[in-house]
Structure 1
């Protein structure tokens, strides 16, 4: 049902003059979905309070509650035909509802509350749906959805992830919000966070890393009440520069079960890393910073190694913000391993001297659908210099693409061999003392890969063709004499 509802909503938004792409569909679906989710959450909390003999005070004032303005019901459960629609609905949403919800940011007790998130989300976006009749249809469809049971929330979170993935095909940099989930799950598995760790992504995008880390920890042991509070309030932290990605990331975490995500809308790279203190540091960094971006000179001043390459600045930030003994799993372009410019050389030296870069996963082209970029994943621990680096080259017997995406089974051998850093046809180790100490080149050159048969030279091919022609002529001559 959920899947069909999403498809119907996309069809409605496709007809609306204010929505031009899949990105707009996701953004506009998100705010309506959020308000329906909030209504179900409030009803659950009211029921809990009633069962324990307490009084629940709603977050949203009565006139702005979903069941009043969006979906007032008749006795038979159908939406009242007198419910707001057309220009009346648009005026209420744009002039009354959004300004009311924005105020929560200022009035909330702290940033880690659902009230603050409501205010922040509705400060960041606006209603783009231009037809009040289309908006009425969207509301009616979303009212059919339920967020009451664990199964319903689980299904909804998966469908929302699918919508985020589809944005990669929609242009306007939608793809940068989405890292393949099998890859994220594998990175989380290898980094192996524990309950009590603080987990950070400074380029949070759609919050895939934080969502998967939450799922991993949720199933890592039987959770106590204290564990649940720790996961909700004191584990996951993120920063995101772009408004749409911030909204999607926040919504994605909420749908996965984190009620008030600690995601901040800010440009991570605008912070001077010299100002990072011990209290600002985290146990674990999981991230796929945007590659190919270029940062202005004033942003570069926040870093000791000056470069315009966004991913290289993020890597400096991640190394600095990790606690001693902290662990990282970071996706980066494979050219990081071998670029000869001063910044790349200095950055490799910094990583090798300040962290134990124990594992490099070399991914095939096509891992990121729509991005013709080869990437590697760096796994490291802060606090001691690297002695040996274990490489694993993912060699698949198929080309990756939209219809043939990376899956967890593809990465199973890597996960298994990584535990012992075993050598194989796809894996090998290098000692840092043996690499060039001026360039610190870490090119992923697999010494164990079976050599492919050398291609013949054109002259040899022509000679072979001539010999075959000669032999064919002899055979034909013999056949003629026999006839």
Structure 2
């Protein structure tokens, strides 16, 4: 039922003049979903208070509650069409009254950690793009049929919402930005192995895939006490996100996974001077896929000791600095980071190897990120001791990855198993840092165990590689044009 509801909502938004893309569909579905979620949360809190003999004050004032303006019901449970706003009346209420009211929560909330603050921030960043009040009425009626009351309902909803995020990435220009393949995320989390009581951070949070999967991993790791559940809810997961749309998607994704008031801040992580990071600001675990291909302006670069326009390299400096001593990280980055010969890349590799134990590098095939032809690696490191050896694993698959053939967890099973002991195999090997060029610190992926293949590549492989290169070139050109 949930899946069909989402499809029907998309069909309605597709007809609306204010929604022109998959991004708009997700954004507009998100704010309506969020208000329905708040209504269900309010009902759950009211029921719990009643059982405990306590009084409960609703988060939302009566006139702005979902059951008042969006879905007033008759005694038989059917929609009260007489009191349910629609058309221009509905749009005027949403845009002129509801939105300013919800924005005001940001100023009145007790702290940024509360659901009230998240309400205020979300509605400060978004606007209602649904131009037809009749279309909005149809969307509301469909969303009203969804429930967020049980774990099973939230779990199904989160699965479908992830599917919408994935489709948004597949739609074109936001492939790697909004959606990191979940099999890759779960594999990174298995290797880093965050524990209850540790803090987990993603400074390029996007749709919050890393934080959501880490939450599921830690929640399912053992039978939790009430205190441990509260730790996971309130004092474990932290994120920062620059873009408004990604911010709302990340918040909504975490809520659907079961985190009631996500600790995600809407800010430009790279605008912070890393010299200002103190011990109280640090985290035990970093999990991230920072944007690749982006370029930062000179004033942003001044916040970093190693100045470079490459966004991912600035993020890596931030992650190294914000990790606690003994902290662990799994970070996705372009594979060219390992061998670039510019001064900034060399200096950053040197810093990473001297300040952290870069124990594992996972080399991923092209096509891992649907819609982005960039080749990537995952860096696994611990802060506090210099690197002596690096274990490499090159993921070689017998098929080409793409939208119809995405990465799956079985593809990465051998990596997870061999990584436990840093075992050598046809696809894995160890490099002693003493044997690495001490001037360039070149860490290029060169598998000494791979047998040379004499056979020529198939025309299909050549065409797919040409397409991937074309896509990467287009991304670079887009980044350059954005700077002009």
Which TM bucket (shorter chain)? over 0.9
Alignment root-mean-square deviation, CA: 1.0
Correspondence for 1:92: 93
1:77 matches 2:77? yes
Correspondence for 1:475: none
Distance in 2 (CA, whole Å) between partners of 1:321 and 1:249 is 21
Correspondence for 2:28: 28
Correspondence for 2:464: none
Cα shift at 1:168: 1.1
> For 1:402-441, what aligned pairs fall within 5 Å after superposition?
402-441=403-442
Check conservation: 1:199, 1:237, Cα contact below 8 A: yes
Any stretches of 5+ residues in structure 1 without a counterpart?
457-483
Distance in 2 (CA, whole Å) between partners of 1:410 and 1:377 is 15
Cα shift at 1:455: 6.0
Cα shift at 1:181: 0.4
- Alpha-carbon displacement from aligned partner over 1:371-423 (angstroms, at most 9, x marks no partner): 00000000000000000000000000000000110000100000000000000
Cα shift at 1:171: 3.7
* Structure 1 residue matching 2:120: 3-state secondary structure: helix
Check conservation: 1:168, 1:175, Cα contact below 8 A: yes
Cα shift at 1:74: 1.4
Correspondence for 1:474: none
The 3 A distance-change label for structure 1 pair 336 and 444 is same
Aligned length: 456
Cα shift at 1:51: 1.1
Cα shift at 1:450: 1.9
Check conservation: 1:241, 1:265, Cα contact below 8 A: yes
Cα shift at 1:454: 6.2
Correspondence for 1:55: 55
Distance in 1 (CA, whole Å) between partners of 2:178 and 2:170 is 11
Check conservation: 2:173, 2:371, Cα contact below 8 A: no
Check conservation: 2:363, 2:445, Cα contact below 8 A: yes
Correspondence for 1:353: 354
Distance in 2 (CA, whole Å) between partners of 1:169 and 1:22 is 10
Correspondence for 2:12: 12
Distance in 2 (CA, whole Å) between partners of 1:78 and 1:183 is 44
> For 1:249-268, what aligned pairs fall within 5 Å after superposition?
249-268=250-269
Distance in 2 (CA, whole Å) between partners of 1:50 and 1:81 is 30
Correspondence for 1:316: 317
Correspondence for 1:465: none
Correspondence for 2:249: 248
Cα shift at 1:217: 0.4
- Alpha-carbon displacement from aligned partner over 1:74-102 (angstroms, at most 9, x marks no partner): 12211111210000000000000010011
- Alpha-carbon displacement from aligned partner over 1:3-33 (angstroms, at most 9, x marks no partner): 0000000000000000000000000000000
Correspondence for 1:225: 226
1:150 matches 2:151? yes
Cα shift at 1:429: 0.2
* Structure 1 residue matching 2:286: 3-state secondary structure: strand
Check conservation: 2:364, 2:377, Cα contact below 8 A: yes
> For 1:386-401, what aligned pairs fall within 5 Å after superposition?
386-401=387-402
Distance in 2 (CA, whole Å) between partners of 1:233 and 1:381 is 25
Cα shift at 1:218: 0.2
Q: TM-score, normalised by structure 2?
A: 0.93
Check conservation: 1:362, 1:391, Cα contact below 8 A: yes
Correspondence for 1:280: 281
Cα shift at 1:170: 2.7
Distance in 2 (CA, whole Å) between partners of 1:261 and 1:149 is 19
Cα shift at 1:452: 1.2
Distance in 2 (CA, whole Å) between partners of 1:174 and 1:36 is 28
> For 1:366-381, what aligned pairs fall within 5 Å after superposition?
366-381=367-382
Correspondence for 2:2: 2
- Alpha-carbon displacement from aligned partner over 1:303-361 (angstroms, at most 9, x marks no partner): 01110000000000000000000000000000011111111111100000000000000
- Alpha-carbon displacement from aligned partner over 1:127-182 (angstroms, at most 9, x marks no partner): 00000000000000000001111100000000000000011133453641110000
Correspondence for 2:40: 40
* Structure 1 residue matching 2:307: 3-state secondary structure: coil
Any stretches of 5+ residues in structure 2 without a counterpart?
458-484
Q: TM-score, normalised by structure 1?
A: 0.93
* Structure 2 residue matching 1:221: 3-state secondary structure: coil
* Structure 2 residue matching 1:371: 3-state secondary structure: coil
Distance in 2 (CA, whole Å) between partners of 1:374 and 1:35 is 39
Check conservation: 1:23, 1:174, Cα contact below 8 A: no
Check conservation: 1:165, 1:175, Cα contact below 8 A: no
Check conservation: 2:176, 2:291, Cα contact below 8 A: no
Distance in 1 (CA, whole Å) between partners of 2:215 and 2:438 is 40
Distance in 2 (CA, whole Å) between partners of 1:123 and 1:380 is 37
Runs of 4+ in 1 over 2 A off after TM superposition: 169-175, 453-456
Check conservation: 1:391, 1:428, Cα contact below 8 A: yes
Check conservation: 1:354, 1:383, Cα contact below 8 A: yes
Correspondence for 2:198: 197
